[in-house]
Structure formats: structure tokens, C-alpha cells
């Protein structure tokens, strides 16, 4: 299984402190081990899974989808306006 990350995710992770990056890596390993760990969305976001987890005191959401045998990490962020931004991001982007 190969893991791809979107440019949006890459930029946000780059700005994170080292401790948060390590916690995020641990959550990504959990997703790789069990790709149905997150909740599958419906409607406009069909096929996208969102995994919720805490970093420090903030709850973060990590969106990903399975593309064949591969895993595409799409977006990470706090809950505020997350789904709106995710829909907007996916609208302007073709699937792999």
C-alpha cells in the first residue's frame, strides 16, 4: 500500500510542531493498519473517510480515501468550517 498526501495537507503538516507531527504519524499508521477506522461520509463527500483525533486540547479531523490499494490523505484541520473547506477542495480536484 502506498500513501499519497495532498499539497494542502503537506503545507499544514510542515507548519506543525515536531511533537504534533509525531502524533499525526501515529494516527496515520493506525489508518494504514485499518483503513476503515474513520467514518465514511455520504452525499458530496461519498468515498471520503474522516478520522477524528486529539492533538493537545484540539480535536482534529483527517480526511482520506482509498484509491485502489493506495491511500490518499486529503486534508487535516480543526472542526470549524472543515467540511465546507473539504467540499470546496475536492470540487476543484479530480480523483486519482
In a domain, 10, yes or no: yes
Q: Within its chain, how far is the Cα of 15 from the centroid?
A: 16
Domains in the chain, number: 1
Residue 10: which CATH number? 3.30.2310.20
Domain region containing 12? 3-91
What is the rounded CA–CA span in Å between residue 13 and residue 37?
21
In a domain, 68, yes or no: yes
In a domain, 33, yes or no: yes
pLDDT digits (tens, 9 = 90+) for 17-60: 999 999 999 999 999 999 889 999 999 899 999 999 998 889 99
In a domain, 24, yes or no: yes
Question: Is pLDDT of 94 > 80?
Answer: no
What per-residue confidence (pLDDT) applies to 95?
Answer: 56
The closest of 49, 60, 52, 33 to 90, measured between CA atoms, is: 49
pLDDT digits (tens, 9 = 90+) for 74-85: 999 999 999 999
The closest of 39, 58, 35, 59 to 50, measured between CA atoms, is: 39
Count the Cβ atoms, other than its own, within 10 Å of residue 22: 10
In a domain, 30, yes or no: yes
CB 6 within 8 A of CB 72: yes
In a domain, 96, yes or no: no
What per-residue confidence (pLDDT) applies to 40?
Answer: 94
pLDDT digits (tens, 9 = 90+) for 54-66: 988 899 999 999 9
Amino acid at each position: 500500500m502506498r500513501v499519497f498526501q495532498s499539497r494542502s495537507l503537506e503545507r499544514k503538516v510542515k507548519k506543525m510542531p515536531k511533537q504534533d507531527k509525531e502524533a499525526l504519524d501515529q494516527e496515520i499508521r493506525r489508518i494504514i493498519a485499518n483503513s476503515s477506522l474513520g467514518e465514511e461520509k455520504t452525499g458530496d463527500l461519498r468515498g471520503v473517510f474522516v478520522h477524528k483525533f486529539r492533538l493537545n486540547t484540539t480535536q482534529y479531523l483527517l480526511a482520506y480515501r482509498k484509491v485502489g490499494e493506495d491511500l490518499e490523505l486529503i486534508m487535516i484541520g480543526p472542526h470549524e468550517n472543515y467540511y465546507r473547506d473539504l467540499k470546496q477542495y475536492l470540487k476543484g480536484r479530480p480523483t486519482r
